[in-house]
Structure 1
């Protein structure tokens, strides 16, 4: 329970930072152009607010529903739908009285601040921690071992991933996303290049198989027995801890991926393991289970092993500034690609969307500040991207109408704006229902 509370606290802090700064972007822009801000709310306040205080012309407060926040700008058609105010003649301090270019800046102020925040976080993190990632080349030096989901998509144990849509990806943390968004992956298999075409069925299998398990892992060079399963076939055959497996049926195997391929062929059969024990070569007859298992765990995939796969690029302050900006745009590009994946219904990627009931799980139960700030930067980019979508009721929708006005020289009627706002609100509520529905289904299933 303590760990969950720590994760929830991190989520609330993250949302508080993002929402406050996003709304401050609108607030600062509005104030700069002498536009009245009537309310500034952290979180939504339907019915009541936890805290409210009026300072000058603005009511500041904290709502009880942590799903966002808002600023209410005088003379703006927004979710408040204050029709009485709009019936009055426009006042100089109202949003609707301002030139289109000023209104556009006010609408995009929140998105701009979100991008600046992500850039700042990444820059500071690069200076403090450097850029740390697991090298895919180091990871697959002896080939990779794949989950059943990845095998369903066409991968085989022992494959080495060469290119994804013609490009080499050096980072293991982005590899799965690249594969999900790819049309073709080239792997090295038994010394030959093999093309794997990624279709919607393969994407669906990978997404479903990603729940609670890794999709691929490195294959250590040596196969050394670390533990034996009680009543397992290996134990019954006389295999011992620290035995080194060097071959099967008098044919050498150099890594666990090769061994797994042999076991897949010999399910339910007996094989002869070639073993080194105390510098002596032994042969052990052992039965392969129907699930292609011998009943032992191997050494090698410990923390020290994975630390050896890491690459760290260090940055000074001046170098970190452009590198932080580059990282911000790289993450934005990936967010856009992942959004495209959500609108491909056959992949069922939309079922993976998490809302606040599950979102807290991405945070570390022990409160890791590095992870916290990295996720905050990522969510800041995601929030900026979502708000740029041309949906009425979002910043992007308002910006689109303003840009159309600037191009045509004609302002949309307030009636049209009201209809668009209501339509956008219905779309957002439908999306929110989908997100909460996904959360509830996953909570019921315990996933």
Structure 2
């Protein structure tokens, strides 16, 4: 059932974004009196699931859920229909329109993506407000990865400021380190002293290269909130609300200590469990990836704050969230071009897994807003077969006064299409490898 719920949210979100993106092309094409032959959700290679012709446009739903398209007369696009280009250009065709009109038509889809992302973030902020954790609301501070202790951080530190500014949500520290160029953190040590600790400017690259993406984690009590059915923990008799006090006779207080010891264990482990004021020793044999099938309450270890926003406040806050989402995505995009980045690219399974296993409209719209911003940026990349490729050639024409010939555009479209198929195979191949490993 969890898979069904995730898949339903993914398909609904993807369909919503595709239709609105293609409307971004369709509407300006119609305004400039350019004929649109097809408007399709998903691809209809050989046949379609549904179709209906209204006026000069055929509307339909294809059977290949890899995107969608509008087929504009006189344009070399995903359909690779070049027969019409052998005939003289007609007034209603894309190729007959002035370059500035063609540019607007091609930019329409990504413009809708960016505007849609902003509007959804405004709506989310207004309807649900924002949950956050203040600097002193992390009850027992953060656990610190060993590689970060060389800078002066200690387990139990409470983080007060990022670059001298108190953050809205202190649990965003890892994201700010990786993407937003933090060079200093003000911390409150357990002994009551405060310190400003300087961090290397290239800390994001250091985190990426060393695989330390969460150097700071909230210290949470080692109390079990969920035991997965048929897991090693369930079979061994571990129960919800059990408190873990030791792993292989090593005393622990926090969840990160427990998880580190379990993940580093090669054999069976003996857990000291406090239950109803009694101490039990339970032996568990970890499963794949040394997992035993337990988790904690995500709200433990913190005092969660909430803020509601008026409509006018939501506009500015929603805009800010959208802008930072785009900036963060652009910043991390550079890591795609590394060896590790190539193996980290995810396909449809990875995107589908972003959605929660239970239906949540707040989560659905939040993820849809992120995907809208992401698709807008990806479609702007100067790759033939993407909107950005068409925009690149049109700008070249506007600057130089020379239009690339149709045969060149045809070959460029084929090259871009092959590149996109290769990326699609790589991304979904990574998903399959991760699924079976």
Do Structure 1 and Structure 2 share a fold, with TM-score over 0.5?
A: yes
State the distance in 2 between where 1:426 and 1:166 align: 48
Query: Of 202, 206, 209, which aligns to 2:207?
Result: 202
Deviation at 1:128, TM superposition (A): 1.0
> Is 1:417 matched up with 2:417?
no
Structure 2 regions of 5+ residues with no counterpart? 222-240, 262-276, 278-295
Greater Cα offset, 320-329 or 32-41: 320-329
Query: Of 425, 428, 431, which aligns to 1:433?
Result: 425
Partner of 1:175: 173
SS at match of 2:40: strand
Distance 1:361-1:404 versus aligned 2 partners, 3 A rule: same
Q: Deviations over 1:343-372 (max 9, x none)?
A: 2x15x1332222112321111111011000
Partner of 1:233: 249
| Maintained 8 Å contact 1:150/1:206 | no
State the distance in 2 between where 1:332 and 1:303 align: 27
| Maintained 8 Å contact 1:146/1:215 | yes
Partner of 1:45: 44
| Maintained 8 Å contact 1:153/1:202 | no
State the distance in 2 between where 1:375 and 1:219 align: 27
Deviation at 1:176, TM superposition (A): 2.2
Partner of 1:353: 345
Deviation at 1:78, TM superposition (A): 1.4
Q: Deviations over 1:82-109 (max 9, x none)?
A: 2210011000010000011110110011
Deviation at 1:421, TM superposition (A): 1.3
| Maintained 8 Å contact 2:178/2:204 | no
| Pair member with larger Rg | 1
Deviation at 1:183, TM superposition (A): 6.3
Distance 1:387-1:130 versus aligned 2 partners, 3 A rule: same
TM-score by length of 1: 0.75
State the distance in 2 between where 1:305 and 1:439 align: 31
State the distance in 2 between where 1:332 and 1:84 align: 39
Q: Summarize the alignment of residues 269-418 of structure 1 with structure 2, pairs less than 5 Å apart.
A: 302=297, 305=300, 309-343=303-337, 345=338, 348-418=340-410
State the distance in 2 between where 1:354 and 1:151 align: 32
State the distance in 1 between where 2:57 and 2:148 align: 55
Q: Deviations over 1:279-328 (max 9, x none)?
A: xxxxxxxxxxxxxxxxxxxxxx756646x533333222222223222221
Partner of 2:217: 216
Partner of 2:264: none
| Maintained 8 Å contact 2:143/2:155 | yes
Partner of 1:61: 60
State the distance in 2 between where 1:115 and 1:163 align: 31
| Maintained 8 Å contact 2:162/2:182 | yes
State the distance in 2 between where 1:405 and 1:185 align: 43
Deviation at 1:418, TM superposition (A): 1.6
Deviation at 1:186, TM superposition (A): 3.3
Distance 1:58-1:174 versus aligned 2 partners, 3 A rule: farther
SS at match of 1:46: strand
SS at match of 1:158: coil
State the distance in 1 between where 2:390 and 2:12 align: 28
SS at match of 2:359: coil
State the distance in 2 between where 1:439 and 1:167 align: 39
Deviation at 1:61, TM superposition (A): 1.0
Deviation at 1:76, TM superposition (A): 0.5
| Maintained 8 Å contact 1:144/1:160 | yes
| Maintained 8 Å contact 2:132/2:168 | no
Q: Deviations over 1:108-148 (max 9, x none)?
A: 1111111121122111111111122333x135565311357
State the distance in 1 between where 2:247 and 2:188 align: 35
State the distance in 2 between where 1:200 and 1:58 align: 49
SS at match of 1:109: helix
State the distance in 1 between where 2:81 and 2:364 align: 38
Distance 1:199-1:180 versus aligned 2 partners, 3 A rule: closer
| Maintained 8 Å contact 2:139/2:303 | no
Partner of 1:157: 155
SS at match of 1:362: coil
TM-score by length of 2: 0.76
Partner of 2:77: 78
Q: Deviations over 1:368-398 (max 9, x none)?
A: 1100000000100001010011111110111
* Cα RMSD after superposing both structures: 3.4
User: How many pairs are equivalent?
Assistant: 376
State the distance in 2 between where 1:185 and 1:142 align: 24
Deviation at 1:175, TM superposition (A): 2.8
Distance 1:139-1:340 versus aligned 2 partners, 3 A rule: farther
Greater Cα offset, 379-388 or 325-334: 325-334
